[in-house]
Every structure is written in C-alpha cells, then in structure tokens.
Structure 1
Amino acid sequence: MHSDSNGVPVTVLSGGLGAGKTTLLNHLLRTVDDRDLAVLVNDMGDVNVDAELVAEGSDLDVEGGVAELSNGCICCELRDDLETAVVRLAREREFDHLLVEASGISEPEPVARLFTTSSRVAASYDLDALVTVLDTRLFLDTFAGEDVPERRGRRDSADDDADDTRPLSDLLIEQLEVANLVVLNKTDLCEPAELEEAEALVRALRPEAETIRTEFSAVDPDRLLGVGLFDPGRMAEAAGWQRALADDGAESDPVHGHGGDRGHGGHDDHHRHRHPDEVYGVDSFVYRARRPFHPERFAAVLRDLPDGIVRSKGVAWIAGRDVKVDVAQAGPSVRASVRGPWIAALPEVRRDLYRSNRPDLEWHDEHGDRRTELVFIGTDTREARLRSALEDCLVTDAEWERADALENPFPDEEEEAVALREP
C-alpha cells in the first residue's frame, strides 16, 4: 500500500443496465498508464461475466486486482462483502486508484457512505467521485419522450414478489441525483438539440454535477480519475429538488417564514417558482400548503401528472395519516412511503424536547410542523394547471372532520411503500 496519508482515491461507477459502465471500465484499464488501478465489479448474475470481461481487457486477473461480488447488490445485502473486499485489497495489493463498478440496480449513495463512515475502509481510502453513466437516448426517451420504455429492475432476483419490482427510472434518478460527474454516453444516437436538452435535464436534477459527452464510453481518464469532486458534506443536499426547496424558502418573508395563511384551509400563499434552465425549457416550482390533501383526490393527481414532469419529490400532509408521507416521482413511476411521524404528533415531552433542540424548526400555532412541501421539475410542468389541481385536492372542513373514514391509498407505516403509478 502506498504511504499517501490521504488514502487511495476511489471512483464509484453507477448507471442503468446497458448504459456503458463496463465499456468505460475497460476503456480506463486500456488507456491509463500513469497509475495502477484496482477494480471491484458487482454483477447480479450467477456468473460474474463483467469481471471476466474486465480481466480480459487488462493485465489484472480475476483473483488479483479484480474482486468479484455476485448474486446481490453491493449497496444492500452484500455491503459486508464489499467492506471485506476493499479492506482485503488494501491489505494485500498495492495500487493507486480503486474503481468500484456497481450493478445497474445499485444505489451509489450507500456505497459512498461505506467509504466515508466505515473506520476500517476510511483508514485506507478517500472517495474521489461518484460517476453516473447514462444511456443518453434512453434517458431522453424515459424522461423527455412520449413513449416510456417499460423497463424494471429487481432488488432481489430470486424473489418473484411483485412488491420487489421497481421501475429502473427510480434508480436512474437516484443514481443521477448523487453524481459528481455524469457521462452522457451513446451521444451518436442523439441529435445536437437532444444533447442540449439532456444536459439541461441533468443540470435541473443535479445542478452541481459536471457532464461529459461520450460515444462508446471513450473519455480522457484525467477527466474521471483524481478529480476530487466528492464532498461528503453535500452529498445529501445537492439534488435539484433539494436546491429548489432551499432557494424557494430563502426568497420567503424573512420575518414570517412563508406567506401568510389564506382561505379556509390555512395553506401558504407562497407560490414562487424556479427556472433551472429556461432556455432549454426545463423549469421547476415548489408547492406548499398548511391543509392536508384528500387522499383519493391527491392520488388521482399524482397518477395523472403531466408527461413533461421529470421529477417530483417532497413531503405531503395526507388527511387520515398523521405521518410524513414522502412522495417520489421519477418519470413514469410514482411511489409513496413514510418518512416518519410529524413532530406535532409526538407525545408532549418528546415533542417539546425535539423543538428545544431545533430552534429553527418552522412551527405553526395550530398545525405544528404538519405541512406539504413538493417540488416539481420538468420540461413542461404546466404549473398553473397543476397548482389548481393541487388546490382542489385540499380537504374541505367537513372532510377534515371525518378524515379517518376516508378511503386512503397512502401508507401509514415506515416499512411500507406504495406504488401509485408504474410504467
């Protein structure tokens, strides 16, 4: 092991199935001649074909510089195996840079956290960058086209339970929203105007990410390795929807927080919107309310979102559910899950303790922290129409009084998730 006190730099490669991650990996192994690379490859199949392909394209052998993790995803059930593998590599071999290729259904954020939170791993490694490879044509067809490919991934290939089936659009967005660098691959299949639109969408979803256009994953290694783009302090707050919420909140009344309550619902009169990339037709807006949604009307709106909306994310206050309902839409997929209880719903002692530790927590005299905050990002959000539809989803006084009796498709337990719309 080299004596570099900062540890060996690590690049995590993620992206959808067939996007070109292994092609990129082989390209790096063929073209990098100024540093020794170690590679860890994860594949969901019974036989790890990718690792063999990588080994064929390099001077390394599968038992040496290329470590395999098969039959699972390195972000979840094989996390312990990943930790063991990288620690063993650091102990047994000398190299200058580690490349981790995640499978097409892996989320990069948990992998990144291993390199920043595990004392065994952090002692030997420094995370350099999270790189997401996009099939640009598929990315546009999925999020900016009229015909949505019905492509799905599985968390557990051995389990045929339909609840474990998840649209790849969800994973693609999650891989993109944590990326430091985005490789727009297969650009030869796109027109110049489409490439501009793809870059605009990337900027809206991940404002700080750098982008590189490639064909057949051919990129200068110096643009990917040793770039020092990863910042652990910003990993959880730099997605486009998080930026939109933060920017929108910063523009509100500095004394009263957000606009005053209005109407019978007490919902915020605060409807500012953001334009991440107006020149390419990509914009966003934030919707806030201090009155709960009627569950069935709100679910109907989510199922019928305009095709131009690429990403929706945030917390919703649902009548009949005294928990924070997390709404996550990625192209054709809409899912709802429980983020946790409202602070206002906690027993008084716990509630007061939490509030004393969070003096900046926005608090309504009647509703506490209960509220809706949703961000919508897309190429055609149809903002006025969607705002009107969301306003119509808010419960009336009569509906609020019998909220527990309303039909409710939204989850009420933390381990539960509901697919409201799928490809």
Structure 2
Amino acid sequence: MSTPVVLVAGLHGTARTATVQRLLAKHPGALAVHHDLSEVASGRVRRSVRDATRVLDTADVQLAHGCITCTVREDLLPQLVRLAAGATLLVVDLWDSVEPRSVAEAVDCDEARQVLRLTAVLTALDAEAMPDDITRGERLAEVGKAAAGGDQRHLAEVLVRQLEYPTGLVLHGGDRDDRQLSRAVLSHLAPVTPVHAVSSLPPVTGAAVCTRALAERVDPATAQLPCDLQTDEIVTAVWRSRRPLHPARLFEAVDELVTESVRSRGRFWLATRPGQLLAWDAVAGIVSVEDAGPWLAALPEAAWELAAPARRLAAALDWDPERGDRVQHLVFTGPDLDPARFRALLDSCLLTEAEEQAGQDAWTRYDDPFAPILTTKENA
C-alpha cells in the first residue's frame, strides 16, 4: 500500500514548524523531510529527516542546474520513495518561500504513485502576521526569505500562491482578534478552502488528492473566483461584462485598480486581442497581465476535444451566443473598497456602443499599451 504524503507550506516558519510537529506527534512512525535554503546564496542546501523527537539524518544537497526548485524536486522525490517503506506518514516541510504547487505536482507523478500517495497540501499561517503580509510589496530578498540569489518574487505574491492553492489552511499564533481577522481575510481570498487550528488538523491519511483539480481551481481559464462579500471593513467586489475592453482606457485605469485593492484576479479580453484569454493577477500593488491561451470560441470545434473537461465546463457556463466564452470576470478585494466605484471605473474602460458597432477592423487600429508586455512574455 502507498504511504501518505502531506505537504506543509508557509512563509511563516513558526506556524509551519508547529503544524509539522503536530502531524508528527499525531501519527506515530511519521517522518518529516525539510530542505533548509537559508544558505542557498552560497550554493548550500541542507536536507534533514526527523521524527517527532529528534533529527535522524542530515546531508548537503548539490544545487541542481543552479535552480532551487529543481533541487528540491529532484532530491525530494527519491528521499520520499526511500523513506516510504518505514514510515506511516511522510510530511514535507517546505522552506518559507517555496510555493506548494510545483512540489505537489512533482510528488503526484506516475513513477512514484505506487509508493507515495499525496493526501493533503496545507499552508500554515501566522494569524498575527498574515493580514499585514498580504499587503506588503517588498521582494523576498528584502525580508530575508529569497529562495535563490536571483529570486525577484514579492512576499505578498508568494503568500497568495501559498494560500489559494492548498487543500487546507492552518492558523497558528496571535490572539483571538488576530485569528478572527485572519479568518475574515481568508473567507475573501480562499473562500472554498477549510481553515483549521493547529490543535484540530484535518485527517491526512486518506484518499489521494487530485493535483489536476487543485490546479484548475487557480488557473485563469477555470479558476474558482470569489463572490461578492462584505465582512466588516473587508469588501470583495465582482465585475463581469460581455463587451470588449478598450486597451488604452484599461491601461490608464490599472494603477487606480491595483493600488485601491489588496488582491485582484480574473480573466478578461481586449478588443485588440479577441482570440486571447488574458489573466489578471495583482496583489499589494504588484500587477501581472499574461496570455493564458485562446478562448474556446476562437478555436475550431474539432479542437475543443483537446481541452480539459474543466476547461470545457467553464466555457459552457460562460457561453454567450454572440461572444462565446469571452467574458470580463475580475474580482477585487480590499478594506473599505467601494464596489460601485470600481464597477463604474471598469465600465468606463469598455467599448462604447459606437465603438462596438465599428467592428473588429476598427478595433485592431486601437493603441494597445499591453502589447509590449504580452509580446515580451510570449517570447520569453
């Protein structure tokens, strides 16, 4: 029988350590594997294996291809396979700034599936720090949490990846008010993900989780986006439209949209790019716009069978006789956010009726400030 594997991620080391220790204590015979990246700038990665009471083994790991993600994945899987026969549960204690998705997908692979069974992906959060950290625009290197010398990621960017992907979230530390605020924030940012205390962790030795389904929850074309919600001063506002966006007007509005919200994401389309599903992703004032592939409406029907079932379902739910699955669907969350004002601003970025009637030949001549960004990413 395969051995269950749990990933525990989180920028907050104290919360992550408490969660790992609780799992080890609850499951006699469990082992935890951890890669310490604190000295990765000098080329050193330290791997340790421990049980509930002591460290059993340590070793230095060669930095593969100069890539820390590759190093963790390529060293971790053989170690888990080696340890599986002698463990009741394997806990992967991920370094602070490691995002869980790539590791989860590496563990959930065909070659190891007979030996390992990924049963949970947890992110541990410090209840006192999390609400502030989600608003911080510093790079990881500025706060001493970079995973490699050239790591340019931002703290808040990594934090949202850690809390929007997993099967469960674990709160640790802080007082009652901190925990209440954290739960309120998480109800907006990850509304379908269960939130636990360290003292009441969920069962982690059952059936395997499906990493494909976890990915579909966050991938732009199929993402399960939050709904309209207000919790005290925290507001989430959803904006939807069928009409195309004018690229220049949207570009002018970007700064206002991302600086007056803490987190926003979704899918949209520009009049100048009717075939492209574009992904909007912003946190703490840092915004990314990327090409997420074609809308199904832009493809011949014969190609639809090549799309994943979740992709076809999402398109069917959004289908419009005129636009197909093309839709503007953006979600904004922030303190005291004014939904009516945000929606009015976004509505003003849509094509006017006269512009729509002019047709696609006219749209292609619009100034498109997004072109340099999208072209660079397409060529990268």
TM band (smaller chain): 0.7 to 0.9
* 1:205 equivalenced with 2:189 (yes/no): yes
Match of 1:173 among 143, 160, 184: 160
Q: TM-score, normalised by structure 2?
A: 0.77
Q: Give the Cα separation in 2 of the matches to 1:385 and 1:415.
A: 31
Shift of 1:417: 9.8
Match of 1:47 among 44, 47, 52: 44
What does the per-residue CA deviation read over 1:214-234, in whole Å, with 9 as the maximum and x for residues that have no partner?
Answer: xxxxx44x7256364864274
1:182 corresponds in structure 2 to 169
Check the 8 A contact 2:35/2:72 in 1, yes or no: no
* 1:14 equivalenced with 2:9 (yes/no): yes
Shift of 1:386: 0.4
Q: Give the Cα separation in 2 of the matches to 1:299 and 1:109.
A: 30
* 1:412 equivalenced with 2:374 (yes/no): yes
Q: TM-score, normalised by structure 1?
A: 0.70
Shift of 1:406: 0.4
Counterpart residue identity of residue 4, structure 2? P
Q: Give the Cα separation in 1 of the matches to 2:75 and 2:15.
A: 24
* 1:226 equivalenced with 2:226 (yes/no): no
Q: How many residues align?
A: 355
Q: Give the Cα separation in 1 of the matches to 2:363 and 2:219.
A: 37
Match of 2:88 among 71, 96, 116: 96
Q: Larger helix proportion, structure 1 or 2? A: 2
* Aligned residue runs from structure 1 range 4-403, under 5 A: 5=1, 7-16=2-11, 18=13, 20-22=15-17, 24-26=19-21, 29=24, 31-32=25-26, 35-44=28-37, 45=40, 46-48=43-45, 51=48, 58-62=54-58, 76=70, 78-90=72-84, 93-116=85-108, 118-143=109-134, 148=136, 150-152=138-140, 157-159=148-150, 165-188=152-175, 192-213=176-197, 219-220=198-199, 223=201, 226=204, 228=206, 231-232=209-210, 234-238=213-217, 242-244=223-225, 274-275=228-229, 278-305=230-257, 309-321=261-273, 322-346=275-299, 351-354=300-303, 361=316, 362-396=318-352, 397=355, 401-403=362-364
| Identity among equivalent pairs (%) | 27
Q: Give the Cα separation in 2 of the matches to 1:377 and 1:86.
A: 39
Q: Give the Cα separation in 2 of the matches to 1:149 and 1:415.
A: 22
Counterpart residue identity of residue 181, structure 2? E
Q: Give the Cα separation in 2 of the matches to 1:304 and 1:341.
A: 28
What does the per-residue CA deviation read over 1:329-381, in whole Å, with 9 as the maximum and x for residues that have no partner?
Answer: 223321111101233444xxxx1313578596355455443332222234433
What does the per-residue CA deviation read over 1:301-352, in whole Å, with 9 as the maximum and x for residues that have no partner?
Answer: 2322265633322111123234211001223321111101233444xxxx13
Shift of 1:387: 0.4
Q: Give the Cα separation in 2 of the matches to 1:35 and 1:306.
A: 47
Q: Give the direction of change, closer, same or farther, for the CA distance of 1:404–1:184 in structure 2 (3 Å limit).
A: farther
**Unaligned residue ranges in structure 2 (runs of 5+):** 307-311
Q: Give the Cα separation in 2 of the matches to 1:155 and 1:319.
A: 39
Shift of 1:274: 2.6
Q: 3-state SS of the aligned residue for 2:153? A: strand
Q: Give the Cα separation in 1 of the matches to 2:232 and 2:187.
A: 11
1:263 corresponds in structure 2 to none
**Unaligned residue ranges in structure 1 (runs of 5+):** 214-218, 246-272, 419-423
Q: Give the Cα separation in 1 of the matches to 2:236 and 2:270.
A: 23
Check the 8 A contact 2:6/2:122 in 1, yes or no: yes
Q: 3-state SS of the aligned residue for 2:58? A: coil
Q: 3-state SS of the aligned residue for 1:226? A: coil
Q: Give the direction of change, closer, same or farther, for the CA distance of 1:279–1:312 in structure 2 (3 Å limit).
A: closer
